[in-house]
Structure 1
Amino acid sequence: MTNKKSIPIIIGVAQYTQPKETAQAVDPLSLMVKTGQMALNDVGTYDIKEFIDTIYMINIFSWSYEDAPGELSKILGIKPVQKVYLPDGGNTPQTMVNRAAKEISSGKKRVILITGGEAHYTASRTSITPRNWPKRNKPLYMEGKRWNGINKFENHYKLIFPSCSYAIFETAIRAASGRSLEEHKRYIGEVFERFAKIASKNPNSWTKKAYTAEEITTATPENRNINYPYTKRMCSNMFVDQSATLIMTNEKIAEKLKIDKKRWIYLMGCADLKNIHEITRRPQLHDSPAAREGSRLALEQAGLRLENIDKFDLYSCFPSIVEIMMKEIGIPENDTRDLTVTGGNPFFGGPWSNYTMHAIVTTINLIRKNPSLKVMVVANGGYNNKQSFGIYGTDPPVKLWGDNDEAKVQQSILAQILPEPVEEANGQLSIEGYTFAYDRKGNPRRGIVIGHLEDGRRTLAYIEAKTEVLLNLEQQELVGQTFPVHFDSNDNFNVISINDHN
């Protein structure tokens, strides 16, 4: 490092899960006040308040405030020069830690507080849970814009819903793996069984039941089908009340304030990369060049090899993203290392954009208890769009901040973009990935398909058929099969019509 004392460190962390049975459940900002105060306590000296010059706040889905960062600062008694309120995205917490590290190492910032919180469980229960929350107000400022799906064409075919798009990735992954339908169902159930087991032992988890693979993958009234092949327990649980906060500074300030060195944790390596934005324009549906290259860059900065990582926290909104991350990072299917430190989005809880903050806070506390640990945290945003990596440990990075070829790598990823998809398709469609949407009774309503036409160009289509035909199709591997497709000008959709298929 050019200036050793500018090396960024994490010095304070906190998280809190508001119990379901809380009589007077508080709003997201109040949860952030709680974890903000807890994080300040964790630092060990309130003198740190004088040095906090920046606050990063993760986007809040479950409520809205005019100036949440400002209100939080006032209550905590801090006076930041810069207040940043971020747009949504599951990658955001790790992205902000990476950004804070670069700002601190460059000398632009002294101490940064990063926070987020949601109370969607309570907010969704308005009819039965009285609450005395502040009035909703539109934020006065936001760095960037909230996501609204991918684009008009893909949103038109419901890819705007993550359970739909990630389910399509899942069928593409299954076909690429060579597993049968039943083998793959068992496999993803076993992966998430490992997550549920860890969540069951985590005092901060929203769900503390150690579900078995069968309980996760089998549809029941309590675990209904969402999008084939996903049941409810394979999906992130956003109906939680959770908050987490962390505080970062540099070695010089930590030494000045006599903060115990045993509590210093380093961001040893990091990276932030994006995949091609449009799903239909990616060369493959079952990979992530951003994850492949991001993990490599983070390991290089940390001076580590993959075998040096003791634990992972892989973003787990759906099984497909876990599988993609494992493949791209190079984690074998039979690897016994933990793939989550919290229990994951479906079981620990998926507080919208702030899940990974909990993963980072949990990671910091694990390393404090066992200083030899090296943990890789992987955050994901959008629809396998944005990935952020952080490697944590008790050693500083070996490479300078920003001293990597991230921009060059990003350019090479985006250069692989395919031509625009065909919006009005007529001809033969070869399926590359698909899902079925279900009604509330668990019956398939229609299929949603992504594939390519005879000339290789991509398109999207619906499968329209009777329920019994769709149920029959559920029992088959459709990836690789070819069907006639036509554009229905009345409904403005590409349609695969099937009366019978054996």
Structure 2
Amino acid sequence: MGVAEGTWRCSDAGAVIAERLRLGGGKPVHTVRADVGILQQRLIAEASAAIARGQVGAALIIGGESRARDRAIVKAGGEATQTPGPDGAEPDEVIHPAGELMSEVELERDLATPATQYAIVEDALAQADGIDRAALRRRLGELWFGFAAVAADNPTAWDRSAPSGRTIVATEGGNRMVADPYTRSLCSQWNVDAASALVLTSVEVADRLGVPPGQRIAVEATVESNLILPLPQRAELQRWPAFEVVAGALATHCGVPVDGGLGAEVVDLYACFPSAVQVQARALGLPLDAARLTVTGGMTFAGGPLNNAALASTVAVVERLRHLATAGGSARGLVTAISGMLTKPGAMMLSSSTSPTRFAALDVTDEATDRSPALPVDPDLAGEAVIVGATVIPTFEGIRRAVAVVGSTASGGVRRRSVVTSDRDVVASSIAELGGAGRVVTLDGMGGFNLS
């Protein structure tokens, strides 16, 4: 029994569910919790590997959140309750992250919010493509309009209203700006009630239970990198070498090309923010066409619960593959996962083939580390620098703050990075209107900057 940690607190959620479902036939059920910072895909990888080794015959992977319910109860003046779990109980196994997902300078200088980091990546993408802010907003509106349309046909999606592209990018009707150019309708929505469950079994157990071949979906491979490289240290914000390594390893194992989406007929990319989708799609050689990138509608519209989004994507891809199998023939499904801010990537290949590729769980952290140059970060960097990516965020004080990752080259030729902010309205207005990446700025050596 594998459970992804959520915003709730329960001593051993797996044990609670096992008891309520009367699992184990009177024997103890081995429970596993993956803490926040561990890819949700990891639970599937661990269970699949245990089944392949013959250690277990079946496993249940679950995730669920009830933040919408909790918020509604609190808004009505009540107190949201939680299931505490058995007294003093702990899971039999806990998977902890190897390190912190975020550096100190990110926490101190307004980079702790996911929307802020992904908006900065968006700025870097726009500069790399040579498009202005108006063209960027059109691109975002068209991309997320497509995701909204997919969600409208997804019966389990949280928001099936299918807003227009213009509505998605416009700051009207409560659609506030979160981190320019990201409005609320361009951000992951985690205040949802959602849950998913996956049952994995050996072939022998499936045979014994009489599961029809057409209903069986094989896990061919899971690949992940656990390299933690904070945003300011990355040589290129618009690329993700670790994800490229993951995709390459999956391609090699399954005998398919990376370009065109690893040969998968069904794809669901981890879609927390548009820049995450674009970075992954480019690495996989996929067009920015929602119909090729998602079957759920993404985390804005299908919902992005903290511990459940990748599991929900897996369920949706499995269902689509079963439908294709029923129609005749076999197909592959690709599901990707992200932990942190484009920090830890994962990808998984599923297949409805009756003779799938032999399963493997691959960890490519070492190769990802070799392929991901890390630049030194100097919080006290002063003098002239160039913006690598920037955004503008609203503050609790009612002002707009520009937040930028900047780069400078020292006299010895060493590239250095820093994270800087500015509360000057002229700076925030200029970056919101024209973008930030590529512009020259002057740093004061204390974490502030001004446009040169």
| C-alpha displacement of 1:99 | 2.3
| C-alpha displacement of 1:122 | 1.3
Local SS of the residue matching 1:453: strand
| C-alpha displacement of 1:399 | 4.8
Which structure 1 residue ranges, 5 or more long, are not aligned?
A: 1-54, 489-493
Which of these residues, 183, 192, 195, is aligned with residue 243 of structure 1?
195
1:341 corresponds in structure 2 to: 295
Local SS of the residue matching 1:485: strand
**Residue 438, structure 1, aligned to residue 397, structure 2:** no
1:43 corresponds in structure 2 to: none
Local SS of the residue matching 1:398: coil
Q: Deviations over 1:474-494 (max 9, x none)?
A: 211321111111134xxxxx1
Q: 1:129 to 1:388 in 2, by over 3 A?
A: farther
2:142 corresponds in structure 1 to: 190
Q: Which amino acid aligns with 2:434?
A: Q
Q: How does 1:326-405 map to 2 (within 5 A)?
A: 326-333=281-288, 337-371=291-325, 372-395=330-353, 396-399=355-358, 401-402=360-361
Local SS of the residue matching 1:424: coil
Local SS of the residue matching 2:68: helix
Which of these residues, 231, 252, 259, is aligned with residue 300 of structure 1?
252
* CA–CA distance in structure 2, aligned partners of residues 323 and 473 of structure 1: 21
| C-alpha displacement of 1:445 | 1.4
| C-alpha displacement of 1:66 | 1.8
Q: Deviations over 1:165-203 (max 9, x none)?
A: 111111011111111211111112111111100111111
Q: How does 1:64-463 map to 2 (within 5 A)?
A: 64-79=9-24, 80-89=28-37, 92-125=39-72, 126-128=74-76, 130=78, 133-134=81-82, 140=90, 142-144=94-96, 149-305=101-257, 306-307=259-260, 308-333=263-288, 337-371=291-325, 372-395=330-353, 396-399=355-358, 401-402=360-361, 406=364, 408-414=366-372, 416-419=373-376, 421-439=377-395, 445-455=400-410, 456-463=415-422
* CA–CA distance in structure 1, aligned partners of residues 253 and 409 of structure 2: 45
| C-alpha displacement of 1:263 | 1.2
Local SS of the residue matching 2:303: coil
- Number of residue equivalences: 432
* CA–CA distance in structure 2, aligned partners of residues 378 and 135 of structure 1: 31
Q: Deviations over 1:112-170 (max 9, x none)?
A: 11000000111123131746734658984543159865021111012111011111111
Contact persistence 1:149–1:160 (CA under 8 A): no
Contact persistence 2:65–2:305 (CA under 8 A): yes
1:477 corresponds in structure 2 to: 435
Q: Which amino acid aligns with 2:385?
A: L
Q: 1:338 to 1:444 in 2, by over 3 A?
A: farther
Q: 1:435 to 1:109 in 2, by over 3 A?
A: same
| C-alpha displacement of 1:92 | 2.6
* CA–CA distance in structure 2, aligned partners of residues 102 and 318 of structure 1: 31
Local SS of the residue matching 1:338: helix
| C-alpha displacement of 1:239 | 0.7
Q: Which amino acid aligns with 1:401?
A: A
* CA–CA distance in structure 1, aligned partners of residues 226 and 171 of structure 2: 34
Contact persistence 2:141–2:168 (CA under 8 A): yes
TM-score, structure 2 length as denominator? 0.89
Q: Which amino acid aligns with 1:363?
A: V
Contact persistence 1:270–1:301 (CA under 8 A): no
* CA–CA distance in structure 2, aligned partners of residues 405 and 82 of structure 1: 24
Contact persistence 2:132–2:434 (CA under 8 A): no
2:6 corresponds in structure 1 to: 60
* CA–CA distance in structure 2, aligned partners of residues 129 and 343 of structure 1: 33
* CA–CA distance in structure 2, aligned partners of residues 158 and 139 of structure 1: 37
* CA–CA distance in structure 2, aligned partners of residues 405 and 341 of structure 1: 26
| C-alpha displacement of 1:211 | 1.4
* CA–CA distance in structure 1, aligned partners of residues 89 and 145 of structure 2: 39
Moved over 6 A (4+): none
TM-score, structure 1 length as denominator? 0.80
* CA–CA distance in structure 2, aligned partners of residues 104 and 206 of structure 1: 33
Percent identity over the alignment is: 23
Q: Deviations over 1:384-437 (max 9, x none)?
A: 0111111222124435525x68355234235x2223x11212211211001111
Local SS of the residue matching 1:370: helix
Local SS of the residue matching 2:45: helix
Q: Deviations over 1:426-485 (max 9, x none)?
A: 2112110011112579x76111111112312111111231x3552233211321111111
Q: 1:405 to 1:143 in 2, by over 3 A?
A: closer
